[in-house]
Amino acid sequence: MEEIITPIIIFAFALVFYATSMQENCWYRRYIIPGLFVTLALVNLENFVAFVILLVAAILTYYGYRGYGRKLLEKSEEKKEKGTKEKKDEEKKEGE
């Protein structure tokens, strides 16, 4: 039974990761893979080396995704600002 726990956990997290890829504004997607590593670390709690390696992997993955999320937020903010400026310009032209 213990041999099947890890593949089930990995499949569940992969399924959630896939489902979130279908959403445009998924702010929590970057937490899924680090969460997977933390969960696997807890499953391997009795093996200290595996526990530490998986926790370090979770930390590295989290910080790796942080930059990706920032770039997406910056792009969406730029689009919003550009759209707002265009609307204001159109309103000024219509008012004149």
pLDDT higher at 51 or 82: 51
* DSSP 3-state of 82: helix
Whether residue 4 is predicted with pLDDT greater than 90 in this model: the reply is: no
Q: Quick one: angle between helices 48-95 and 32-43, nearest 10?
A: 170
For the segment 43-48, the average pLDDT, to the nearest whole number, is 90
Q: The pTM is what?
A: 0.63
**Would you give the distance in Å from CA 43 to the centre of its chain?**
22
The residue extents of the domains of the chain are: 2-95
Identify the CA nearest to 14 among candidates 38, 33, 41, 42: 33
pLDDT at 35 (0 to 100): 92
